[in-house]
């Protein structure tokens, strides 16, 4: 694993969709090393915070030495990050963890709920570069919270909103199911997904009902994390068959059949 | 000039460290995934708590951040002592930094079994008895009762020639009483302190954040509490006290050394700034040099009992 422990500089800050911030940082070694789905541990200096915050790279531009991070404000750490501006330094540790496996030739469905979309611009770009057919399913509460479709060049983009203000009126999982129903060859797709645990649960149930193998799904997990490098053992995920995976080193991108979804619900939902 | 300062320290029974900066149990694994940490600045590595058999640990959620601190309830996830002896120890034997194995269990027999298994194994420089883990059933019982703490220490002392530290819990009325008891039972030193019991509640879900309800609090928030415990213990004990609790900077470490600690352990900071080991080592050296103190033994504010461990 190549690790960068050096300041990166914020070169751009924007609002790519409502309630979200995108920071673009300049850090050539990280931009060259990161793979789609990997994350960085970002140091934050908000009062009374101590731990780094894990964020997936939204995309990377190795030639320009830049990485993008997309996030929303959920607490003190993200609140501090949200007020970083051009010229501010960021302390990145990474890239860390396992990204998505992009091998294969089958069509790919990418499915994002809410801020889970933050990992997908770079994933879709890498898939399209591999000449794979990509359908990007985006779910949000309302149209203004959808990342614009032009962030997914080369993919078919379908949207779902809870309030029906754009695209399919309903959940992105229902959009997924109705998209697949009756389609020839649905058993021969790969599914990459990231989103809230209830969305993942619904996806898993639907996939089982459709008779698709869980092996065809890869999930980018979002769990509380301590060190990010496998030392603190804080980011345990229930493993199918017993015991635990660590989100930081066995993931964050994990094949869905490796997870015990029943125990996952107990831990992170309800 | 700071390069010439002697930072070596003895923790008793032949355990000599080239630096007073150690890493605390559970914050450095078994020493193999030390990203960015500079081992040449380390006095010793203390491993994750190790039990007779492998343990899977607690269900998530296992950690939570609280103001200037974090809670953990990992539950002693570890591969078991046989794995440590077969796989890790041979590698440690080639390292130039001593490795101290933190020993944990549910009963006296567990601790004795682990200690016996580790005795005489190349690559293992010492033991630290974890009589203070708040995150497993019965984990705290040995640490809160001086008589039981002494019984456990004596039981382990009888089966090992290794240097023996005992890690004390602060979740007691009188930590000095427990310290004296383990000293009398044959401990070569004490590590003070382990985490404080604490909890956080998710008001949205209306349940504790941690799956076990409570966990151990660590980080800068507990530093003054740990420092007080070390100050009291250093005044009362003849054996070395290793200070641990919320140390983040060289200034923090120096406070512990001034309070009478023979060495310090870095814990939570390892998760955030792996380079802290080197920074704190160098900061201590610079302080010693700048104050013309020659060696660490000149640091403690109260000098009465420190001769024994310098």
| pLDDT tens-digit series, residues A140-156 | 999 999 999 999 999 99
Question: CB–CB of A51 and B74 under 8 A?
Answer: no
Question: By the CB < 8 Å criterion, does B272 face chain A?
Answer: yes
Please name the residue that has the structure tokens 């993919």.
Answer: A155
Do the Cβ atoms of A51 and B67 come within 8 Å?
no
Closest by Cβ to A267, choosing from B67, B211, B271: B211
Q: Determine the residue among B220, B271, B277, B279 to mutate to test chain A binding: the one whose Cβ has the most chain A Cβ atoms within 10 Å.
A: B271
> Which residues of chain B lie closer than 8 angstroms to A197, CB-CB?
none
Q: What is the pLDDT of residue A183?
A: 67
Do A49 and B65 make contact, defined as CB atoms within 8 angstroms?
Answer: yes
For residue range A29-64, list pLDDT tens digits in order.
999 999 999 999 999 999 999 999 999 999 999 999
> Are B271 and A52 an interchain contact pair (Cβ–Cβ within 8 Å)?
yes
Q: Which chain A residues are closer than 8 Å to B35 by Cβ?
A: 1, 3, 5, 93, 229
Tell whether the model's pLDDT for residue B16 goes beyond 60.
yes
B272–A50 CB contact, under 8 Å: yes
Q: Do A50 and B70 touch (CB under 8 A)?
A: yes
Which has the higher per-residue pLDDT, B38 or A119?
Answer: A119
**Inter-chain residue contact A233 with B57, CB threshold 8 Å:** yes
Residue of B nearest to A91 (CA): B273
Residue A21 reports pLDDT greater than 90: yes
pLDDT score of A22 more than 60: yes
Query: Was domain B2-58+75-197+218-309 assigned CATH 3.20.20.70?
Result: yes
Supply the angle between the helices B223-236 and B250-258 in degrees, to the nearest 10.
Answer: 30
Over residues A97-108, the mean pLDDT reads: 95
Position A269 confidence tier, pLDDT thresholds 50, 70, 90:
low
pLDDT for residue B306 is more than 50? no
Q: How confident is the model at residue A70 (pLDDT cuts 50, 70, 90)?
A: very high
**Residue B78: closest C-alpha in chain A:** A233
User: Domains plus CATH for chain A?
Assistant: 4-96 (2.40.30.10), 108-268 (3.40.50.80)
Cα A228 off chain centre by: 16
Task: Report the pLDDT value the prediction gives residue B136, as an integer from 0 to 100.
Answer: 61
Q: Given a cut of 80, is residue B303 above it in pLDDT?
A: no
Average pLDDT score, chain A? 93
Is residue B309 over pLDDT 60? no
pLDDT at B241 over 70: yes
- What's the pLDDT at B36? 65
How does the average pLDDT of chain B come out, rounded? 92
What interface predicted TM-score (ipTM) does this complex get? 0.92
- Chain B hits for A229, CB-CB cut-off 8 Å, are 33, 35
CB contact under 8 A, B59 and A263: yes
pLDDT grade for B35, boundaries at 50, 70 and 90: low
Nearest residue on chain B to A94, alpha-carbon basis: B35
A234, A244, A270: best to mutate for the B interface, most B CBs within 10 A = A234
Query: Would you kindly state where each structural domain of chain B is located, as residue ranges?
Result: 2-58+75-197+218-309
Q: Any CB–CB contact under 8 A between B65 and chain A?
A: yes
- The residue length of chain B stands at 310
- In angstroms, the CA A160 to CA A168 distance is 4
pLDDT-based confidence at residue B304 (cuts at 50, 70, 90): low
pLDDT at A177: 87
Res A4: pLDDT? 46
Judge: B74–A232 Cβ closer than 8 Å, yes or no.
yes
In this model, does residue A109 exceed pLDDT 60?
yes
Residues from chain A that touch B49, judged by Cβ atoms under 8 A, are: none
**Residue A230: pLDDT above 90?**
yes
Of residues B168 and A186, more confidence is placed in B168
Residues from chain A contacting residue B205 (CB–CB below 8 Å)? 270
Q: Given an 8 Å threshold on Cβ–Cβ distance, is B72 in contact with A234?
A: yes
Strands (E), A43-85: 53-56, 59-61, 66-71
Nearest to A256 by CA among A213, A230, A219, A208: A219
> Residues 251..270 of B with a Cβ closer than 8 Å to A: which?
268, 270
CB contact under 8 A, A232 and B27: yes
**Chain B residue numbers touching A237 (CB-CB < 8 A):** 60
Q: Is the pLDDT of residue A1 over 60?
A: no
- Comparing A110-124, A199-213, B231-245, the range with the smallest average pLDDT is A199-213
* Burial of B11 per CB tally in 10 Å (0-12, 13-18, 19+): buried
Chain B hits for A1, CB-CB cut-off 8 Å, are 35
Which pLDDT band holds residue B33 (cuts at 50, 70, 90)? confident
Closest chain A CA to residue B211? A267
Taking 60 as the threshold, does the pLDDT of residue B308 lie above it?
no
Sort out which chain B residues have CB atoms less than 8 A from A268's CB and list them.
Answer: 60-61
pLDDT at B305 over 80: no
**Which of the four pLDDT bands, split at 50, 70 and 90, describes residue B2?**
low
Mean pLDDT of B42-65: 96
Per-residue pLDDT at B154 exceeds 50: yes
- What pLDDT does B242 receive? 98
Q: What is the pLDDT of residue A179?
A: 77
Tell me: the pLDDT tens digits for A163-216?
999 999 999 999 998 877 666 566 688 999 999 999 999 999 998 888 889 999
- Is residue A128 packed enough to be buried (19+ CB in 10 Å), middle (13-18) or exposed (0-12)? middle
Residue B241, beta-bridge partner list: B190
Task: Give the pair of three-digit tokens for residue B12.
Answer: 């008793």
**Residues of B recognised as catalytic:** 133
pLDDT in tens, B175-208: 999 999 999 999 999 999 999 999 999 999 899 9
**Of the partner residues B33, B56, B275, the one whose CB lies closest to the CB of residue A243:** B56
Query: What pLDDT is attached to residue A266?
Result: 75
């Amino acid at each position: 694993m190549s690790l960068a422990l050096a300041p990166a500089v914020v070169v751009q800050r924007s609002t790519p969709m409502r309630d979200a911030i995108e920071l673009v940082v300049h850090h050539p070694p990280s931009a060259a090393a990161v793979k789609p789905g990997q994350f960085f541990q970002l140091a934050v200096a908000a009062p009374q915070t101590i731990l780094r915050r894990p964020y997936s790279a939204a995309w990377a531009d190795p030639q320009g030495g830049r990485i993008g991070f997309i996030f929303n404000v959920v607490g003190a750490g993200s609140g501090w990050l949200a007020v970083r501006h051009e010229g501010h330094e960021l302390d990145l540790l990474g890239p860390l963890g396992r990204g998505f496996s992009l091998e294969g030739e089958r069509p790919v469905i990418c499915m994002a709920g809410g801020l889970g979309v933050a990992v997908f611009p770079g994933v879709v770009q890498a898939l399209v570069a591999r000449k794979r057919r990509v359908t990007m399913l985006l779910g949000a509460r309302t149209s203004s919270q959808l990342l614009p479709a032009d962030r997914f060049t080369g993919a078919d983009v379908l949207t779902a909103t809870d309030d029906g203000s754009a695209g399919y009126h309903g959940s992105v999982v229902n959009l997924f199911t109705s998209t697949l129903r009756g389609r020839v060859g649905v058993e021969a797709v790969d599914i990459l997904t990231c989103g809230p645990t209830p969305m993942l649960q619904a996806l898993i149930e639907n996939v089982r009902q459709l008779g698709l193998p869980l092996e065809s799904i890869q999930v980018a997990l979002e769990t509380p994390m301590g060190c990010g490098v496998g030392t603190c053992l804080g980011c345990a995920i229930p493993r199918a068959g017993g015991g635990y995976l660590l989100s930081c080193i066995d993931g964050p991108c994990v094949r869905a059949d490796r997870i015990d979804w029943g125990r996952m619900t107990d831990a992170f939902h309800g | 000039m700071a390069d010439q300062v002697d930072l070596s320290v003895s923790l008793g029974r032949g355990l000599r460290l080239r630096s007073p900066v150690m890493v605390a149990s559970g914050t450095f694994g078994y020493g193999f995934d030390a990203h960015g940490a500079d081992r040449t600045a380390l006095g010793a590595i203390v491993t994750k708590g190790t039990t007779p058999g492998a343990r899977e640990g607690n269900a998530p959620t296992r950690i939570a951040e609280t103001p200037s601190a974090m809670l953990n309830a990992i539950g002693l996830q570890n591969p078991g002592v046989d794995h440590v002896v077969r796989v890790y120890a041979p590698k440690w034997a080639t390292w130039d930094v001593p490795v101290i194995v933190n020993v944990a269990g549910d009963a006296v027999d567990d601790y004795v079994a682990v200690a016996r298994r580790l005795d005489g194994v190349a690559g293992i420089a010492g033991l630290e008895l974890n009589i203070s883990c708040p995150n497993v059933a019965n984990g705290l019982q040995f640490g809160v009762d001086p008589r039981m703490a002494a019984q456990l220490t004596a039981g382990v002392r009888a089966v090992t020639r290794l240097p023996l530290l005992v890690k004390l819990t602060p979740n007691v009325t009188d930590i000095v009483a427990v310290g004296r008891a383990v000293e009398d039972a044959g401990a070569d030193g004490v590590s003070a302190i382990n985490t404080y019991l604490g909890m956080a509640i998710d008001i949205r879900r209306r349940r504790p954040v941690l799956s076990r309800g409570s966990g151990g609090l660590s980080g800068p928030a507990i530093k003054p509490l740990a420092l007080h415990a070390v100050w009291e213990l250093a005044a009362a004990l003849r054996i070395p006290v290793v200070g641990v609790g919320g140390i983040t900077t060289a200034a923090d470490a120096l406070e512990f050394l001034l309070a009478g600690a023979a060495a310090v352990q870095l814990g939570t900071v390892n998760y955030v700034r792996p380079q802290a080991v080197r920074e704190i080592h160098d900061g201590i050296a610079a302080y010693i040099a700048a104050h013309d103190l020659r060696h660490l033994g000149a640091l403690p504010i109260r000098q009465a009992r420190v001769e024994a461990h310098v």
